Every structure is written in structure tokens, then in C-alpha cells.
Amino acid sequence: MPIFINGREFELKPGETVLEVALRNDIYIPHLCFHPKTGKAGKCRACIVEVEGRRGLLTSCNLVAEEGMKVVTDSKQVKDAQKIIVDLILSSGHHDCLSCEQNGNCELQDAAYYLGIERPSFDLAPAEIETDNSSEFIFVDRSKCISCGRCVEGCTRTVVNEVLNFANRGFETRISFDNELPMGESTCVQCGECVQLCPVGAIIDSRMIGRGRTWELEKVETVCPYCGVGCKLEMHVDRQKNEIIRVTGVEDSPTNEGMLCVKGRYGFDFVSSQDRITTPLIKENGKFRAADWAEVIPYVGKKLKAIKKEFGSDAIAGLTSAKVTNEENFAFQKFMRSEIGTNNVDHCARL
Amino acid sequence: MKFYRSHLLIGIDDSSLQAGVKEFETALRNELAKHNLTDEINILETGTLGYFGTGISMLVYPEQVTYVNLKLEYIPEIVSEHFLKGRIVHKYILDKLSSKYDFNYQGRIVLKNSGVIDPENIEEYIGTGGYEAWEKALLEMKPEEIVAEVKASGLRGRGGAGFPAGLKWSFTQPLAAEQKYLVINADEGEPGTFKDRLIMEGDPHKLMEGIMIASYAIGATKAYIYIRGEYKLCISRLRKAIDQAKEYGLLGKNIFESGFDLDVEIKIGAGAYVCGEETALIESMEGNRGTPRSKPPFPGVKGAWQRPTVVNNVETITNVPAIIKNGAEWFKGFGVEGCTGTKVYTIMGDVSMPGLCEVDMGTELRKIINEFGGGMKNNRKFKAALVGGAAGVFLSEKLLDVKMDFNSLNEYAAVLGSGAILVMNEEVDIVEMLWSVIRFFRHESCGKCSPCSNGNEILYKLINNIRNGEGKEKDLDLMLHIAAVMNDTSFCALGESLLLPVKSAIENFREDFLQRMK
Amino acid sequence: MTNDIAGIKDTDVIMIIGSDTSAAHPVIAARIKQAVREGTAQLIVIDPKKIVMADYAKIYAAQRPGSDVAVLNCLMHIIIKNDLYNKEFVEKRTEAFDKLKAEVMKDKYSPENVEKLSGIPAEKLIEIAEMFGKAETASIFYAMGITQHTTGTDNVKSVANIQMLCGNLGKSGGGVNPLRGQSNVQGACDMGGLPNVYPGYQKVTDEKAQEKFEKAWGKKLSNKVGLTVTEMIDEAYNGKVKALYVMGENPYLSDPDQNHVIEALNKTDFLIVQDMFITETAELADVVLPASAFAEKEGHFTNTERRVQRLNKVIDAPVGAKDDWEIIQLLAQEMGGKWNYKTVSDITAEINLLTPSYGGITWERVGRMGLQWPCPTETHPGTPYLHKGNFARGLGLFSGIEFKEPDELPDEEYPLILTTGRVLQHFHTGTMSRKTEGLNRLAGPMVMISVEDAEKMGIGNSEEIEILTRRGKIKAPAFVTKKISPGVIYIPFHYKESPANRLTNPAIDPVAKIPEYKVCAAKVQKIN
């Protein structure tokens, strides 16, 4: 038997929660603390629904879907309660969308929009804006934090670096690095898992600030060029400027499940580095001079042919690369074997 | 055996210690010696005598009179008048003693020995028939029989929610796990409540005996007493009780050669209100931040360190030895249908005799206030009673005849809670009272879920505005609405708590609020 | 890796030996920490440095660098002696168990004797062996700490021995799991970027393979095993290698004994470097060819768990730079080859055709999640873990491995052991990671030295000191720590300003030809 959500029938998979069934079928229920990776948290309470035959409002993120269950996500009672919850959250910090990096990619914004909350109704926001820019790559604005706990959960249970936690209690609850150290002085290794999990603009990549909002950037998946784990990345690109603005891990990758390390997330300046070579170079009298491809290819060919002719194929050796693609490695060894005629091909696998 | 003409029981608890009871006791001994009464009059230290705000108290047997608010300078007069000449010094004794503090009238199960025996001496507890129930349970009963007996007795959890204790045990008892735990919630965080403290101070062995029986019943070989650090005297008395029980072979390995092992350990908490919630208590006990866990799984299946764990309140467990010893039917003789046994109340506020009393479930509130609380202090007019602790209900005069048990209170959308009764006279402003209740919950909100932490904060702002004369009548509706959403959507009972006090205060005492808006 | 990353959740005991996992393979480290935290696995860490992973370990042991065979033999000694090995697996799936027994059961490998050899207390060795031997499924993760020794092959064989002995192969959660250090080092090997094999490890000395490739490429091919990288450098030094074509590598910093490398590169007649940057090696080149970066091209990388994954073009390459394959094709055509690849996928198709294990990993099939080889046909689902039911050669072959000391041991003149490796914030020779200033601010050059040794010499934390070996001398700030054993120093090799490989010993493993980066004799001195 299926499950009924707002009168529509949906198949359910074993163990799925009501929220998961709804989201899988594009039924939006406001949710701020649930994330597929960190799982149910039951903290924000915005995902409440009504279930026929059950008393009161139930949070759908930790409600296991059952066959025949009749769920209502949009009744007046549900939306009235959600409105208070989300309005209070919105009122509790400085959620200034205009210049927020998460604008358009903010789950609080989505919830407020869905519930028609135009501006916060309550006088709750702290007087001070509290930011922490002590970390090299990560910027923290605690006045935007909604204490959803995703970052804490991710730091503790996903990447298991165990740096983030909560300090204080009640309304004063705040995320803390180690024992309330500035992030840059803590034992944080800047893997950026917290950035990736933050539903609002509280923890963001410091280097993306002001360089483009989510809808302005094109996303392309590729593979990390660093170690051999082969983490899948999503690169957020400014097409006009031909620049990589931001990198996130691909959540459904079986290799890294969205995780990255500090290099994989922040170490891409080399791609657009001013030091890139943009023209072939030929050394003359101990100095490089620029050449074009039409010149350099015959130049190299001539040299190689001459050496092959004079000293034999085995006087030529080639180092292929552990950093280029399979196709390029294939081509390189084929070149050495079939065109040069030697098996003198190796790479730095051992180094 | 030595024969004494009189026994003087001096209550030793945190408040009497602060009042200088030790000094008083020494002076008293000296005075008695001066009159050569040492061999005739015996001085015994006992737990609390059950009164609050009475400083140093002393119960004299066989007359059964209690001197309260004793001072050093009274000693010569009391000794010469009462102990030498046999004339009770009425000006120092408890007012209207015979009717209000007739221990026989109060059907005492839990507090039976408090103020009677020396809580630091296991022999005295055994002398009252103590540990007979443990022996019976362990040697004559199967665990499932104990669970069935407790189920049959109708004992309901005394921590606040009133969940049937036997039923709770029955979920854990049949589980096959390599380790199960019993955890005693002695974190008593309810403002104005100190019944568990006095139970533990007055009769720690009864709690120990209850722990033993309950552990055996559910198959736990390890029990923890999670207690707030401020309860220093309780902790030291419980430690003594554990040591003595071990010495007597009542605890440890292969108890009574039954093959059953039990170890009891005291875990000291930091006294957060939310740790009264059983899953938050478990988190705290495991060394984590004290915040509630999502249920299911319930602790009975996956609790402390992911093992089946039963969490019971001190008062609940302290009822168990009597149930096992006397049987479920006997226990059902106390209280009312659906809510059996007695309840220990902490009566505070504008009554003549604040303190503890243990009466049958179902006793009317009016009776508790008038007879056990000594009526209104200075004969002021009654205005309200906050019943059930901070999360309770502000009851007005017209509800005074409510029967105090889980079911009856429910009919009035009120709660028994931990059994705290705060009585207020006509001078009390409910705005101030509600303000302090909200301030309390704002302080105690753990911050895990958003409706509770944000809701408490905004309620606090709103009540502050009202208090400062800046409130508007529509704020009252907003407060009700927010409290209702908090009640409907919060993670745990803490966030749900404010609805009752807010609603009852505003609905029953609206005038007090409007007064501030003029 | 014989096994896959996801299988970490299926293992009961994980042994990390010779891998600073959280620094060099942080995401796999996270997976292992998850398993430890969730309580599904217990962790054993054996490493001369008290690496971060040791904080998560049930047992941590610091071995003397270079004593791995003795340690592993000792563990097997105890496991056999205490009857903890998997008899059924040994009987049905392996051969030459006698040879293994004959070696490891020698008294030389008793816990007491190996305590002397390795510095790991006998009781700890027994504890490790018991935990490992009793596990239902145990896995071993290692990296260059096992391989970069003159006994690298022996070390790897010993890891294989213990896993066969305990029956930890051919099932999820087990395995011999070398963590590959570079994004496509697995692919480079798979694609025949080695002197002895064609793509798919088909030997150049195998006539059938030679015939196959000659037919496919229409050229006569050599059946003579070529030179390895270290041999190329030596032969260039000796004047036998006249031309060297280096694509995307930086031997200047990555190869041992830097001074020797520089001389060798200078001696070539013609050095071609194809790279994104003027690397230290490129400075010495005769021709530099500008290549595009990973983010500017399409193709595939094969990761450490044999998963072939797609690279997509993210941004445009700088005008003037070309994809490596395009450059190679231009050169091939110049050399007279009839190459005609229109797109990268044309090469992929040729790989599918000529590489049996990649037969089914076509451009169309790879998808977002990739495919794990062996995947011989287009209907094959890929292979998460190897050796299920059978080994490639049939039965698993035990070998008796005798413990041998490293090539260069400390002596009076050079009393310390120098070992090298990576830090979290940088990668290999730094060509990529060091272009990000933030990473440079987070981690610069250093030499890790024990509190004991530093105190003895009056060296303070952050004090710049000199490190010397028979090959050369560098300077680096001291990082005085309890995390390293007395007598051992550690230097990350990323930094051209403090190049660790100026110091390292070029002595190589006779089979794998891998240099002994993990052990050489060194001394440190204060700078006056």
C-alpha cells in the first residue's frame, strides 16, 4: 500500500521518512536541520505535518513513513505553526539577504518564501553582528547561524574531525570551535564540510564573497586532481570570467560522499594562475623565447628523429604523468612505443 | 539495652546545617550533661523532619512534639522546663501540631522512616523491616513476577508524566542484552521542589532497596543514581548507604548466592532542568551535552551507551520495597482508582507551614493546603496556587477542590508534575510570577530545538514589556499563540511546558495583566 | 586497492601501516574514522610518527623506520603460533604455506626478538596480532610508508602474506589496500605508463601481447623492457639517454638525490617538458610545451579503488595551451604516425578495445558514478573488490620474506633516521597546491624532531636548523614534538626552498625500482 500525502499516492521505500518521500516527489516541506547526510535532527521543527489518526503535529524528518499513512503538509494548522517557527528563526539573527552569499541557495529563504514571511516580525536579533574571519578559507557569521546543528553533526560524524560543537544554552546557543576558539586558532583542518552543510549564510567560503551568487554560476562536475582517492567535485564557474569561484563535493559520489579536504576544496588557484604558460617556449642561448605551435612541433620532431636515428630508439625516454587522464597516458605510451620505438616510459608512481 | 526516658530526633539536612544544627546539638548535649540527663535523654541525628523554613527542628518522643526554629539561647529553657520538669514549652513548638503533622494521618510509604531513623545507619533501616523486600524479591520471586506485581500495584512514575512504572519495566525486562541499566533520576530540577532530596537524606536505604529490586526485575546489573551536585548531603549519605549495603552483602557479586550481581554508582550532574528529561539525562550521564534524544528508540530499548535502560524517579523507586513486601493489593489501598499510592508534595509559599507531606493520591488541594500546609499564613486571602512546578498551572480559588492525582488534574488541563504546590496570597502579582516562570524556562532551554529557544526568548521579551508597562493587550494573544506553537512543536517536554503556566495565568488572572497596561 | 572505499564499513579491524592517512588521503581517513566512531571497526596504527589516526586507534605502535617486514613476520608468527589463522582459506585458496611458515616461525621473529628489531614492545605485538587474527574481517591500508624502501616489494608481499593467512582477501571489508598518492597514478599504471607493460598490464615481453599491439598500431614494437624513472635519470647521467620527454612531472623535486637529478637533466641533449608551469624541471628544458589543466579538459581518472571517473571541461584553457593528448598527437603525426583522434572519446574507444579490464568502461557507460575495473564487457557491472573466489593466478602464493635492513642505517656521523612524506595542505612537489597562498600560509617547510633529540641539541621550536645527509644539506624550521620517536626526523618533500629530496637516498628496491625515501641516515645541526 502506498502513502498518501495531501491526498496523492506515493510509493515508499523501506525505512524512508515522510520528509524523504515528500522531497523525493517534489513536495516541499520547510526543513532547515535535515540533510540527507547528517540525517534527522528534529531541531528546527519546521518540517511538521499532520497525520490522520495521530495526535498533534509531527516532525516529518524523523517520522518513518508507513503504508497507508495519510499525511497533510499544508493545512492551516501546519502552516500557522510553521510560520511562527520560521518567523522566529528569521527574527533571531541578521538574515540580510541582499548581500548574502547564500542568497538564492538559502534554505531559510526558501522556507520564508514558501510561508509568505516577508520580513521578520519579532525583535530578537542580537545587537551585535558577530563574525569570525580568522580562518584562511572559511568565514563565519554567527548572527546568521540558526543552530541547526548540521555543521556540528558533519564535523563530528561525517569527517570526524570533532572540532565543531555547541557552546552555551538556549537562545545563547552558538557553534564553537574546540573550546570557543577563533576558527583559525582551533584544530580545524578546513575541510569545509561545514560550509557545504550550512543551510544559510553562516559558514561560507571566504574566497567566494562578492564573486557571484549561486544562480550566476554554472556548475560542472569533475574529479579532484590531488591524491588518489578521486573525490568527485562540483565546480561553480563564472562563465564570463572563465573562473572557478567555488568547489563543493558531490554528495552522491560513492567515493567521497560529498567530503573534500582543504586542497580539494580550496587549492585551485593554480588553474587560473598568472604563472600559466600560454605559449610554447624554445630555449636559445640559455634563455626561453616564445614560439608558436606551428614552429615548435616540427622543431621537436626534428630533434627526436635525429636522436633516434643517431643513437637508436632507446636513447629516448619519456615520463608520462600520474596527473593527466587515462586517454593522455594511453596516448603518451603509445607515442613512446609506436612512434619512438622504445619501452622507456614510466611515471612517478613510485615517488 | 539501654533504656532512655526520651528520644530527641534532630533533623539534619542542608537547611538545618546552614542554621547551625551541629553547634546546637553540641550545646544541647552540654546542657543535658549539666543536669545529669545524659543517661535519660537520647539524642539521635536523623534526616529531615519534613518541614521547610523551620531552621533547626527537633522531634521529641514519646510526646511527639516538634520544636522548630530553635536557637542556642532556647536550650536552657527547654532543657529545664521540658526534660527536667516535663512541661512542653509551647511557644517553641510547631503550631497546631496534632492535626497537621500527625504522621499516622499521613499515609506515609515513602517518608515512613524519614525523621525517625538514623539515615546513616543501615541497622536502623533493617530494624524497621528494611531489606526484607529485597530478600523476598531476589530469593522468592522471578523478575517477571516483580514486574507483574508492580504493574498490578498501579504505581505511576512520580517524575511528572505519570507513566505506569510496571509497564515501563515490562518493555525492558524481556530484552536479551548483555548489559542493561537502571538509572535513578535524582536530578530534581523543578524550582521549589525538594522532595527527592529529603527522601534521599532521610532514608537513603529505602532508595537503595528500591534500586536493588528494580534492577533485578529488569535484569540490570548496573544502576546509576544521577544526582545534582548541589545535593551534597544526599550524595554523602547515598555513598554511605552503598558502602554499608556492600558490607552487608546486599550489593555486589552473587548477592545472597543467587547468582545476581549488582553495582550501584553515583553520577553527579550539573543540575540542568532539561536533564530531568530521561534521554537528556542519559546524554549527560554519557558525558555529552545534556540535550534530549529523538525517540524512538526509547531508552527502555536503547538508552545509556545504546543499551536498554530504565530511568525512574527517586520517589517512584522508593515506593517499590513496600509494594513487594506488602503486595500490590495493599498498595492499591492508598490513593484512588487509576492513581494508586501516596504522593509527596512540596508545599511552599504563603502557607503557615511550608514543607513536605505525603498523602494519598486524590486528596483535594484545599485539604493539602489547609491541613498539611497549615492554611494561609497570617490568615491572608488565598489568590492562586501554582501546582505541578514551574511547568504547572496557576489555579484560582474556584479550582481548590480539585483532587490531586494524575487523572483528575488532567480534567482541568492541569498537571501533578513533581508535586510542587506554590501557594500565593492576594498580594501576589501573577505578572511577576509568570515573569519568573518564563525567565526560568528561558534560562533552562537547552537550545536544541528552535521553537523552545526562540520561543522562550520572545516570551521573555513580551512579559518584560508587560512588566515594564509597555505591553499591549494583543501581546497576551501573541504569547498564547507562541506558547501553543511551542507546545505543539518543541522537541521535548521542556518546550511544551510554558503553555500551561502562560495560559492559566493569562486566562485565570487576566486582570493582573491588564492592570499593567493602564 | 583490492577492495573498495565503501567496504570500509564492512571491516572489523583496520590496520594502517605506513600511511599518514589523514594528511595524504583525508577523505579515506574520514571513512575510517567514521567506522571507528560508529563502533563497527577497531583501528590499529603502526607508524613511526604518532599521526592523527593514532588518536582514533585502539592500539598504536611506533616501529623503527624500515623494520616493517620484521613486524609483519612477527605478527604472522604469533597468529600461527596461537592458531588464529584462517585454515580453510590457507588450504583452499593458497599455496606454499610451508615456505611462509619456514620463514616467519623462525625464532628471529618472536615478539621478544622483534621488540629489539622494531622498538615495538613484545606485549604490544602480541596484542596487535591477537586483535588482527581474531577479527572476522580485517583490512590493511598502506601508502608509501610501506613501498618506498629498498625492501618495498618485500613489505608489500608481507602485507599480502598476512592477509592471505587470515583469509582477508576476496571479501568486502578485507583487502590489501595501497592508497595511491596521485589523482591518476592508478590510471597511468593501467594505461601502460610503465616500462614493462602495455595497457592492462600486458607484458612487453609477451609475444602475443606484442603481436596484438603491433597489429593495432601498425608498427613494429620493442620487446625489451624499458627504463624506470630512476634508471632514466641514471642513464641520462651516464649519457645513454639523450632525449627525455617529461609530461606533467617534476623529477627535480620528486626524485631522490636532487643534485644527481639536476646533473642528469643537464646532461641530456634534448629535454622536453610539457606542463602548465615553468616547473623547476622545466627551467632546465630545451623546449616547454604549454598544457591545459585538469579542469580544462575531458577524459578519465582512475582512483585508488580502481574506479574510472569522468573529468568534464569546467573552464576554457588559456589561449595557447593545448590538451596533452592533442600535443602528443601533433608530435606523433610529426614523427610520421597516422594518428587521427578527433576527440578524447576516440582514445577511450581504443582503450576499451586493447585493455581487457577496461573493455566495458566505455565513454557512454562511465556515467556520473564511474565504473570499477575489471569490467571486461559492456554488460559487466564492474568489480568493487578483487579475488572473489579466485586469484588471478589461481591459488594465492605465499612467499617467505626474510627481514633485511634498509640500505643506509644511522651511524656515528649521521645518527638520525630521516623519513619523508606529505602534509595535509600540500601535494607532491607543490606545483599545484603552492599556487594557493592560503595553503602556503597554513603549512610551510619544517623538520619534525622529537623533544628528546631537540633538547639534547638545544634546538627550540621553529628554530631554523640544518639537516644533512651524505647527499646534501637543507635548512628548515624545527617542529619539536612528542609525536615522533627519538632518533627519527621527518621532512615533507613539497618545498623547493627546503627540498627533502636533496637529502634522500637513491638506493632502490631491486624489483620495483622504488627509491628508499622512508629511511636514510641524517644529522641535524644548529645554524650559528
* CB–CB contact A56 B488 (8 Å): yes
- pLDDT for position B40: 84
* C201-256 tens-digit pLDDT: 999 999 999 999 999 999 999 999 999 998 999 999 999 999 999 999 888 888 88
Contact A92, A146 (CB under 8 A): yes
Same domain as C192, residue C341: yes
Question: pLDDT over 70 for what percent of chain C?
Answer: 100
* CB–CB contact A85 B489 (8 Å): yes
Residue B91 has pLDDT above 90, yes or no: no
Q: Which domains does chain A have, with CATH numbers?
A: 3-74 (3.10.20.740), 123-266 (3.30.70.20), 281-350 (no CATH)
C396 inside domain: no
Same domain as B314, residue B217: yes
What mean pLDDT is predicted for residues B369-378?
86
* CB–CB contact B446 A170 (8 Å): yes
Domain boundary among B331, B360, B387: B331
User: Which residues span the domain enclosing B159?
Assistant: 122-331
* Cα–Cα distance measured from residue C485 to residue C449, given in angstroms and rounded to the nearest whole number: 8
Closest-CA residue of chain A to B455: A88
Q: Which of residues 265-294 of A touch C (CB under 8 A)?
A: 266-273, 275-283, 288, 293
B126 inside domain: yes
Same domain as C253, residue C146: no
Confidence of residue B295 (pLDDT cuts 50, 70, 90): confident
Cell numbers of B104, please? 499516622
Confidence of residue B474 (pLDDT cuts 50, 70, 90): very high
B64 inside domain: yes
C146 inside domain: yes
Cell numbers of B357, please? 507531606
Residue B475 belongs to a domain with what CATH number?
Answer: 1.20.1440.230
Q: Which of residues 272-311 of B touch A (CB under 8 A)?
A: 272, 289, 294
Closest-CA residue of chain A to C272: A300
Same domain as B260, residue B325: yes
Structural domains counted in chain C: 3
Domain boundary among B296, B331, B366: B331
CA B28, B29, B33 angle in degrees (round to 5)? 115
Residue B183 belongs to a domain with what CATH number?
Answer: 3.40.50.11540
Residue A172 has pLDDT above 70, yes or no: yes
Same domain as C98, residue C232: no
Residue B39 belongs to a domain with what CATH number?
Answer: 3.40.30.10
Nearest CB to B488 within list A41, A57, A91: A57
Burial of C115 from C-beta contacts in 10 A (0-12 / 13-18 / 19+): middle
Same domain as B216, residue B327: yes
* CB–CB contact C24 A227 (8 Å): yes
- pLDDT for position B2: 59
* CB–CB contact A323 C182 (8 Å): yes
Kindly give the interhelix angle for A293-311 and C324-334, rounded to the nearest 10 degrees. Answer: 60
Residues 6 or more apart whose CB falls under 8 angstroms from that of B394 comprise B384, B385, B386, B430, B433, B434, B501, B504, B505, B508, B509
What mean pLDDT is predicted for residues C400-416?
93
* C136-177 tens-digit pLDDT: 999 999 999 999 999 999 999 999 999 999 999 999 999 999
Among the residue ranges B113-117, B331-335, C315-319, C430-434, the one predicted with the least confidence is B113-117
Residues 6 or more apart whose CB falls under 8 angstroms from that of B105 comprise none
Residue C430 belongs to a domain with what CATH number?
Answer: 2.40.40.20
Residue B228 has pLDDT above 80, yes or no: yes
Residue A220 with chain C: CB contacts under 8 Å:
312-314
Neighbour-count burial for B44-77, b at 16+ CB within 10 Å, e otherwise: bbbbbbbbbebbbbbbbeeeebbbbebeeebbee
* A84-117 tens-digit pLDDT: 999 999 999 999 898 899 999 999 999 999 999 9
Contact A5, A71 (CB under 8 A): yes
In the block, which residue shows the cell 524556562?
Answer: B441
Q: Give the 3-state secondary structure percentages of chain C, helix then strand then coil, rounded to 5.
A: 35, 20, 45
Residue A138 distance to chain C (closest CA, Å): 11
User: Which residues span the domain enclosing C175?
Assistant: 5-179
Same domain as C274, residue C233: yes
Contact C324, C274 (CB under 8 A): yes
Same domain as B258, residue B164: yes
Residues 6 or more apart whose CB falls under 8 angstroms from that of A120 comprise A87, A90, A91, A95
DSSP A265-332: HH--TTTT-TT---S-EEEETTEEEE--HHHHHHHHHHHHHHHHHHH-GGGEEEE--TTS-HHHHHHH
Closest-CA residue of chain C to A185: C442
Contact A166, A176 (CB under 8 A): yes
Residue B451 with chain A: CB contacts under 8 Å:
45, 84-85, 88
In the block, which residue shows the cell 570500509?
Answer: C8
Structural domains counted in chain B: 4
Measured on CA atoms in the order A175, A177, A181, A184, is the torsion positive or negative?
Answer: negative
Closest-CA residue of chain C to A190: C425
Residue C157 belongs to a domain with what CATH number?
Answer: 3.40.228.10
B70 inside domain: yes
* Cα–Cα distance measured from residue A334 to residue A341, given in angstroms and rounded to the nearest whole number: 9
CA A114, A118, A120 angle in degrees (round to 5)? 110
C211 inside domain: yes
Among the residue ranges A108-117, A340-349, B398-407, C288-297, the one predicted with the least confidence is B398-407
* CB–CB contact A136 C442 (8 Å): yes
Average pLDDT, chain A: 93
Q: Is B491 near chain A, with CB under 8 Å? A: yes
Closest-CA residue of chain A to B482: A84
Same domain as C152, residue C205: no
* Cα–Cα distance measured from residue A51 to residue A71, given in angstroms and rounded to the nearest whole number: 5
Same domain as B188, residue B228: yes
C479 inside domain: yes
Residue B449 with chain A: CB contacts under 8 Å:
42-45
Of B16 and C130, the one with more pLDDT: C130
Question: pLDDT over 70 for what percent of chain B?
Answer: 96
In the block, which residue shows the cell 536533564?
Answer: B275
C244 inside domain: yes
* CB–CB contact A341 C229 (8 Å): no
Q: DSSP alpha helices (H): ranges in B11-114?
A: 14-18, 21-34, 75-78, 97-100
Domain boundary among C344, C372, C400: C372
* ipTM reported for the complex, 2 dp: 0.91
Q: How far is residue C193 from each of residues A327, A331, B178, C187, measured CA to CA in Å?
A: 11, 10, 55, 9
Average pLDDT, chain C: 93
Residue B115 has pLDDT above 80, yes or no: no
Residue C218 with chain A: CB contacts under 8 Å:
338
B106 inside domain: no
Q: What residue type is A201 in one-letter code?
A: G
Q: How far is residue B203 from each of residues A256, B199, C497, measured CA to CA in Å?
A: 58, 6, 75
- pLDDT for position B106: 55
Same domain as B244, residue B375: no
Same domain as B151, residue B39: no
Confidence of residue B8 (pLDDT cuts 50, 70, 90): confident
**Residues of chain A with a CB closer than 8 angstroms to some CB in chain B:** 32, 40-46, 48, 56-57, 59, 62, 80-81, 84-85, 88-89, 91-92, 122-124, 146-147, 149, 165-166, 168-173
Confidence of residue B50 (pLDDT cuts 50, 70, 90): low
Residue A308 has pLDDT above 70, yes or no: yes
Same domain as C96, residue C175: yes
* CB–CB contact B461 A124 (8 Å): yes
Q: Which of residues 217-276 of A touch C (CB under 8 A)?
A: 220-232, 235, 237, 242-244, 250, 252-256, 259-264, 266-273, 275-276
CA dihedral (C250, C256, C260, C264) in degrees, to 10, reads -40
Same domain as B413, residue B298: no
Of C191 and B103, the one with more pLDDT: C191
Same domain as C357, residue C241: yes
Of B19 and C72, the one with more pLDDT: C72
Residue B421 belongs to a domain with what CATH number?
Answer: 3.10.20.600
Same domain as B307, residue B216: yes
Residue A350 has pLDDT above 80, yes or no: no
Same domain as B81, residue B196: no
Same domain as C190, residue C142: no
What mean pLDDT is predicted for residues C120-139?
95
Residue C254 belongs to a domain with what CATH number?
Answer: 3.40.50.740
- pLDDT for position B131: 94
C216 inside domain: yes
* CB–CB contact A226 C432 (8 Å): yes
Domain boundary among C306, C340, C372: C372
Same domain as B220, residue B131: yes
Strand partners, C311: C299
Same domain as C69, residue C210: no
C468 inside domain: yes
C326 inside domain: yes
B340 inside domain: yes
In the block, which residue shows the cell 553562516?
Answer: A202
Same domain as C345, residue C201: yes
Same domain as C23, residue C98: yes
* A322-339 tens-digit pLDDT: 999 999 999 999 999 999
Residue A213 distance to chain B (closest CA, Å): 28
B110 inside domain: no
- pLDDT for position B372: 83
Residue C222 with chain A: CB contacts under 8 Å:
313-314, 337, 341-343
Confidence of residue B99 (pLDDT cuts 50, 70, 90): very low
* CB–CB contact A123 B461 (8 Å): yes
B104 inside domain: no
B107 inside domain: no
Q: Is A318 near chain C, with CB under 8 Å? A: yes
* B184-207 tens-digit pLDDT: 999 888 887 888 988 898 899 999
Q: Beta strand pairing status for B309-313 and C138-142?
A: unpaired
Residue A239 has pLDDT above 60, yes or no: yes
Average pLDDT, chain B: 88
* CB–CB contact B488 A46 (8 Å): no
Same domain as B177, residue B301: yes
Confidence of residue B389 (pLDDT cuts 50, 70, 90): confident
* C245-304 tens-digit pLDDT: 999 988 888 888 888 889 999 999 999 999 999 988 999 999 999 999 999 999 999 999
- pLDDT for position B1: 44
Same domain as C463, residue C477: yes
- pLDDT for position B93: 79
Nearest CB to B458 within list A81, A124, A169: A124
* Cα–Cα distance measured from residue B130 to residue C268, given in angstroms and rounded to the nearest whole number: 98
Domain boundary among B331, B364, B386: B331
Contact C12, C136 (CB under 8 A): yes
What mean pLDDT is predicted for residues C374-395?
88
